[in-house]
Amino acid sequence: MKVTEVLSTAKDAITVKRVFGEPYEKDGLTVIPAAVVGGGAGGGSGQDDKGQEGGGGGFGMSGRPAGALVIKDGQVSWRSALDPNRIVTMVGLAVIAYLLSRPRMARARGKSRNRAAAD
């Protein structure tokens, strides 16, 4: 795929429809779902020692729920989506950081106790 094709594909893929879903209405309540969308693209071309040219590129996107706009009686409010995977990841990272720092804290406490006993 040529770089111009990659850029054209990326332009077509990044639209407001990727972020906001189709609104739906029920019992006088309108809900517009929203997502966080990210992407990246890369490409290049070159020539080898024999004069042969080549090139290529690629594009990727990802998305996750962010929440929804809720419209009721002319009032708009935001309801954020709860991402359990992100919560589990953050708690796991905090536990790992705590477990890795415990030996250092214990050594530091031991050194300060030894200094206090020597004084």
Say what percent of the chain tops pLDDT 70.
80
> Domain total for the chain?
2
Q: Which pLDDT does position 30 carry in this prediction?
A: 94
Rounded Cα distance, 9 and 26, in Å? 36
pLDDT value of position 119:
59
Question: What average pLDDT does range 4-13 have in this prediction?
Answer: 68
Same domain, yes or no, for 52 and 14? yes
Residues 74 and 95 in one domain: no
For the beta carbon of residue 14, count every other beta carbon within 10 angstroms. 16
What is the percentage of the chain residues whose pLDDT exceeds 90? 26
pLDDT of residue 46: 84
Is the domain of 2 the same as that of 58?
yes
Q: Are 78 and 65 in contact (CB under 8 A)?
A: no
Cα distance between residue 61 and residue 7, in whole Å: 13
Q: Is there a single domain that holds both residue 28 and residue 56?
A: yes
What mean pLDDT, rounded, does the chain reach?
81
Verify that 43 and 30 share a domain, yes or no.
yes
Q: Which residues span the domain enclosing 99? A: 82-119
Instruction: Say whether both 68 and 96 belong to one domain.
Output: no
Q: Residue 33 has what pLDDT?
A: 92
pLDDT at 1 over 60: no
Residue 60 and residue 35 share a domain: yes
What mean pLDDT comes out for the span 4-32? Answer: 78
Tell me how far CA of residue 43 lies from CA of 2, 5, 48, 62, in angstroms: 8, 10, 17, 19
The region, left, alpha or beta by phi > 0 then psi within -120 to 50, assigned to residue 73 is left
Give the pTM.
Answer: 0.51
pLDDT, position 109: 75
